[in-house]
């Protein structure tokens, strides 16, 4: 579970970085669909970080 969350987090951050570079450096205006996709990626990153923290604190309690 932890590895899946880490891979999801890395992929999401990669897509976010790609869109950031495209928008800020290249000056491309993102479409409505791309903005929605970016918002969903931010949500996935937040949920992944939350779950990773929950798993980490759960492991500490077991020890």
In three-state secondary structure terms, 1 is: coil
Mean pLDDT (10-residue bins), the chain, 63 residues: 88 90 85 90 92 86 74
* Rounded Cα distance, 58 and 62, in Å: 6
- So what's the pLDDT on residue 42? 93
Number of independent structural domains in the chain = 1
Residue-range definition of the domain harbouring residue 30: 2-62
Q: What are phi and psi of 20, to 5 degrees?
A: -65, -45
* Matching residue, tokens 């077991």: 62
């Amino acid at each position: 579970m932890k590895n899946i969350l880490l891979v999801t987090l890395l992929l999401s951050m990669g897509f976010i970085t790609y869109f950031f570079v495209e928008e800020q450096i290249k000056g491309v205006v993102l479409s409505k669909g791309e903005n929605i996709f970016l918002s969903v990626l931010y949500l996935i990153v937040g949920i992944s970080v939350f779950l990773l923290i929950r798993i980490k604190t759960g492991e500490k309690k077991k020890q």
